[in-house]
Amino acid sequence: MLLISCPNCGPRDETEFHYGGQAHVAYPENPDALTDRQWAEYLFYRDNTKGAFAERWVHSTGCRQWFNMLRDTVSYDIQAIYKMGEPRPGMERAVVNTTAATTPEGARK
């Protein structure tokens, strides 16, 4: 069982939270210009990382606020919790997925 530290409420049991998928997936700037394939890739293609992975979570039975979590997918170790809109820790200088219509790393067309 995980103990997740909500940025607004403090440490709580994982049963109070819901997983929201991969973090830092930007909405396409011009969705009308996307092909069906690009739109499908935006909706369904996500990284399947072994190791550190940025995720979105919501404290559904508490403050109902969304936040990001950097979690190791192998050990379940929570490495960082940060607010929505903030860059992933350790990636402040990197550009994070500015073109959502591109294929995520490791995905095949």
pLDDT on residue 1: 83
Alpha helices in 5-76 (DSSP H): 36-44
Residue 103, pLDDT above cutoff 50:
no
Residue 94 has pLDDT above 50, yes or no: no
How confident is the model over 42-65, as pLDDT tens digits? Answer: 999 999 999 999 999 999 999 999
Q: What is the pTM of this model?
A: 0.76
Average pLDDT over all residues of the chain: 86
Angle (nearest 5°) at CA 108 between 105 and 109: 125
Instruction: Please check the confidence at residue 106 and state whether its pLDDT lies above 70.
Output: no
